Structure 1
Amino acid sequence: MPHIHVIHENEEWTGPLLRELDALGHPYRDWHLGEGTLDIGATPPAGVFYSRMSASSHTRGHRYAPELTAGVLAWLEAHQAWVLNGTRALALEVSKVAQSAALGQHGIRVPRTIAALGRDRIIAAARNFDGAFITKHNRAGKGLGVRLHKGVDALVDYLDGPEFELSVDGITLVQEYIESPTPHITRVEFIGQELLYAVRVDTSEGFELCPAQSCEIGDAACPVGATTSEKFVIID
Structure 2
Amino acid sequence: MSAKIYIIHENEEWTKPLKHELEQFNVPYEDWFLSEGNFDLSDVPPDGVFYNRMSASSHTRDHRYAPEYTAAVLSWLESHGRRVLNDSRALALEVSKVAQSSALRKHGVVTPKTIAAVGKDHLVNAADEFSEPFITKHNRAGKGLGVQLFNNQETLKGYVMSDAFEDSIDGITLLQQYIQAPDASITRCEFVGGKFLYAVRVDTSEGFELCPADACQVGDSFCPTTEEPAPKFEIIENFDHPVLANYEAFLKANGIAFAGIECIQNERGDLFTYDVNTNTNYNADAEKKAGISGMKAIAETLAQELSNLHSLQK
TM-score (norm 1): 0.92
Q: Secondary structure at the match of 2:231?
A: helix
Q: Establish whether residue 114 from structure 1 lines up as the match of residue 121 from structure 2.
A: no
Distance 1:87 1:229, change over 3 A: farther
For 2:231 and 2:64, locate their aligned partners in 1 and report how far apart those are by CA, in whole Å: 32
How does 1:1-236 map onto structure 2 within 5 Å? 2-212=3-213, 215-217=214-216, 227=228, 230-236=231-237
Q: Secondary structure at the match of 1:120?
A: helix
Contact kept? 1:217, 1:228, Cα under 8 Å? no
Q: Secondary structure at the match of 1:154?
A: helix
Letter in 2 for 1:18: K
CA drift at 1:20: 2.1
Per-residue CA deviations over 1:50-99 (Å, capped at 9, x if unaligned) read 11101111111111100000000011111111111110000011100010
Letter in 1 for 2:40: D
CA drift at 1:228: 8.7
CA drift at 1:198: 1.0
Query: Which range is displaced more, 21-30 or 108-117?
Result: 21-30
For 2:228 and 2:163, locate their aligned partners in 1 and report how far apart those are by CA, in whole Å: 30
For 1:130 and 1:94, locate their aligned partners in 2 and report how far apart those are by CA, in whole Å: 29
CA drift at 1:229: 6.8
Contact kept? 1:55, 1:66, Cα under 8 Å? yes
Query: Which range is displaced more, 96-105 or 171-180?
Result: 171-180
Contact kept? 1:7, 1:52, Cα under 8 Å? yes
Aligned residues: 228
CA drift at 1:131: 2.1
CA drift at 1:125: 1.2
For 1:13 and 1:102, locate their aligned partners in 2 and report how far apart those are by CA, in whole Å: 26
For 1:203 and 1:211, locate their aligned partners in 2 and report how far apart those are by CA, in whole Å: 12
Contact kept? 1:218, 1:228, Cα under 8 Å? no
Per-residue CA deviations over 1:140-175 (Å, capped at 9, x if unaligned) read 112211111010001011112233211111100011
TM-score (norm 2): 0.69
For 1:160 and 1:99, locate their aligned partners in 2 and report how far apart those are by CA, in whole Å: 28
Consecutive unaligned residues of structure 2, counting only runs of 5 or more, are 219-226, 238-314
Identity of aligned residues (%): 60
Q: Secondary structure at the match of 1:148?
A: strand
Contact kept? 2:3, 2:46, Cα under 8 Å? no
For 2:230 and 2:70, locate their aligned partners in 1 and report how far apart those are by CA, in whole Å: 33
Consecutive unaligned residues of structure 1, counting only runs of 5 or more, are 220-225
For 1:216 and 1:180, locate their aligned partners in 2 and report how far apart those are by CA, in whole Å: 20
Q: Hey, which bits of structure 1, 4+ residues long, moved more than 3 A?
A: none
Instruction: Give the aligned CA root-mean-square deviation in angstroms.
Output: 1.7
